[in-house]
Structures are given as C-alpha cells and as structure tokens.
Amino acid sequence: MAWIWTAAISAITFLYLLLQFLNLKNKKKLPPGPIGLPILGHFHLLGKNPHQDLHRIAQKHGPIIYLQFGSVPTIIVSSPAAAELFLKTHDTVFADRPHHEASIYLGYEQRNLIFGKYGQYWRNMRKLCTMELLSNLKISQFQTMRKTELSLLVGLLKKAAETGETVDLSVRITNLSADMTCLMVFGKKYEERDLDEKGFKEVIKEVMEEAAAFNIGDYFPYLRGLDLQGSARRLKRLSKIFDGFLEKIIDEHVKNKKEKETQDFVDTMMGIMESGEAAFEFDRRHVKAVLMKARVLINAYAIGRDPSAWKDPEKFFPDRFYESNVDLRGRDFQLIPFGSGRRGCPGIQLGLTAVQLMVAQLVHCFDWGLPDGMMNNELDMSENFGLVVARAKHLAAIPSYRLSH
C-alpha cells in the first residue's frame, strides 16, 4: 500500500509543478485571493462550514476572489452585483457543471437536473420537468394531499400540546416533507424497509451525505481511479440499492397502469416515454435520473449578509421585508434562495407552496415555547454543512394549541 501513496504523491507533485509553470503567465489576469499551498491550494482555509469560511475570505479580498482547490481553479462570488454578472449577464458561459463523482453513480452519468452537463439534453429535460412535473397546474393537483398530510402533523402536535410534551420539530418537518415528496413522485409513502435493510430514511440520509462529502477524485482527477477514500465503493453500493428500488417502482406503475384522478410524477414521465412526445431520447434511465474547467461558486450565504445590500444583515428582523419589493425568485440578486438564471431551481413554486403552507399552519394553530426555560437568545443556531445547510442541533419546542375546540 505504501508504494501507491508514494506514486500518488510523486504524480501530484509533478503535475502541480507543471501546472504552476503553465499558468504562471496568466496569474495577473486572475481575481485577488489569499496565498495557497503547493498541491493542496486553498483547502487548508476551509473548515466544517465552508460557506462561512468563504464569506470571511471574501470580506478580506473582495466580492470576486480566486481560489485553487487541488487542480481545480475556482471563482467565489459573494455580492449581488457580482452574482448578476455570472448568473444573468454571462450565464451561458457558466451554465455547465463539472465532473461530480457522486452524480456519476447516483445521477445516471450526471443526467439529473442539478449536476447535469449543460447542453441540448439538459435543456430538454428542464423544459419537460418545468412544463409537465413542476407547473402550477401539476402542483395544484396535489393540494388536497398536502392539506391531508399537514392535518396529520397538526393532530400529532395537538396531542403533544395536551400533555406539555417537547417535540422535535426538525424530525417532524423532515418526515412530513419526505411523505409529501413520496406521494407526489411515487404515488404512495414508503415504509422503512422498502428501500434497504438500513431503512428508507437512513439510506436517503446516506445518499445526501455522500453527495455532499469531499471526494478527492473531484479535485485530483488523476487519483480518481485509486479510490483512496472508498467513495466509489460506497457510491456503487448506494447506486445499486436505488436502481433496484426505482426499477421496482416503475414496474409497479406499469403493472397497475390505470386512469387516476391525479397522476404522480412517475405516471406522467412513463406516459411521456411511451407516447414519444419528448422529441428526444427519453427512456427508463432518464426517468430514474429525474427521480434522483474553472468552477464558479455563488455564495448565497455571503450575499445574504452583504452590508451594502442589507441593513444589520446579521440581525433577525423579518419586518425588513414588509415594505420591500425584493423578489426571491432570482430577479433581485441580493436574495437568491432558489438561485437564478438558467440553472435556477425549477421547483421554486413547489418549494414556496410547501414552506408557506407548513409555516402558516404551525403558527396559526400553535403558540411555541422552548424547553427547560430556555430563552430565545440561548438557542443554538450553529449550522451543519451539506447539500442543504441545516441546523447542527435539532429544534426542540413545546407546542400550545391556540384555537378554540
């Protein structure tokens, strides 16, 4: 095993020196940034929450900075004006996606919308999803389902309120979102053992973690084949589990094919596949994929804390939006929770609908308190980095039902 590491280090050193020599004449054209280390580049500047570390670097070096991660040159964008340049003015130049090992295995050779390569196939798939799966009409068809699932949660919280029980809201909301998603996409909820012996939610969690995890092969391509971290092995296992699960779902839909009042996403996609309406190659691989150079990173965390765009940006002050015309759908770049431009999130309407309904019901039906006499300013708001930045510690709260019986 020692010879593998020796060969790997020697190869990295040689390639690094070669790249440094070839790129020396282009250094003056690059945006500013901190001094990097040989071979590693700027990896040493990142901790467990890279978005926060990149924000701190931008505060020192400016809204557009240059960093090197392994052999990958990276531009970090941290202001609304700079984001508009990359996402609107020059969006076609930066619309592509780099090689992503996790998506190769879990996204059927990067055929999904998130990590898919920019081109005719990706444009066709996005159009199909936007018009057939995520349209206002399609979303409204699941309105009754959303209300039914939310009423089940309200019922559980009401029982907890009667006994003064502390509720793990993080788990409750995650489970509700998972159930709603399964009903919309697959047409039914799936039990813990339907996917794998580990359990449905545990496997989903593992997929999310692997997709967000640092993979040395993504930054040092010449080491990809060695699989030094065992990432490829784990991804292959997860890919096999999910492929079997999705094949089973498709087979069930084909076997039980019938007219439904509301067709789930699989019904819709299978109908398009069988009819040939897609007008481009669209088979089972693509159905399953939808279900599952220099790089540019737009740091929405930093943009949302830009003092030139927001007064007291670190202060929780929802009233700031009362008389504001800021659009969160990607047209105003000081607030881009769904991204913007060609690679903006196509599920924005679905996301807004679900979040607004959940928050409105939880606030309308209950008053909320913290357990053990905890004050609001004592709440731990630290973050856990991943594909989705979430609370590091679950939110525990005590509901008090506020509506008349």
Q: Which residues contribute to the annotated binding site for heme? A: 345
| Contact between 284 and 278 (Cβ < 8 Å) | no
Distance CA 179, CA 201 (A): 11
Give the DSSP per-residue string, 92-117.
TTT------HHHHHHTTTT-STTTPP
Q: What is the largest CA-CA distance in the chain?
A: 76
End-to-end CA distance of the chain: 69
Distance CA 79, CA 63 (A): 5
| Contact between 118 and 223 (Cβ < 8 Å) | no
Structure-token match 């640092």, residue found? 214
Which tokens is 132 given?
């057939």
Which tokens is 316 given?
């929780």
Neighbours of 206 (CB within 10 A): 16
Distance CA 76, CA 96 (A): 16
Residues contacting residue 158 through CB under 8 Å, at least 6 positions apart:
365, 399, 401
**What kind and span of H or E run contains 388?**
none
Handedness of CA 200, 201, 203, 208 (dihedral sign): positive
Residue 313's SS3 state is coil
Structure-token match 């209300």, residue found? 147
Residue stretches of the annotated binding site: 345
Residue 296's SS3 state is strand
Which tokens is 64 given?
């557009």
**What kind and span of H or E run contains 399?**
strand 396-401
Distance CA 366, CA 157 (A): 9
